[in-house]
Amino acid sequence: MLALHGVFQSYVRHCGYDRTLPKVVDPEVIDRLFIPVFMPSLPEGARRRLKALVDHACYFNLSEPFPSNYDALATEFGLPPMPDRDAVIQANLEYWAAETRFKERAA
């Protein structure tokens, strides 16, 4: 997670975005501090959105990638090798920036 956060931070800085990005914290900080202390004071809409994000965070907060048997399948079925992970992340960031016009808004 932290590695991806760093790649994202570098990318948005490259686009000219100079505001402070959210910090990555241990999930326990959210569960034990943020939710009990700050959640009740948020407006209802913000509480719902934050709850949805927290509920889904467990799927994104992984230190290791999901297990895969792609190499065995590639050998068995003659599939091409997986693309370079960093190139995939970069391509996704470029697509996101183009679709949201992030570069224009960030500068």
pLDDT along the chain (107 residues), means of 10: 78 89 83 90 93 83 81 94 89 94 85
Query: Under the phi-then-psi rule, with left for phi > 0, alpha for psi from -120 to 50, and beta for the rest, what region is 24?
Result: beta
- Is the model's pTM score more than 0.85? no
| pLDDT at residue 1, as a whole number | 53
| pLDDT at residue 46, as a whole number | 92
Polymer length of the chain: 107
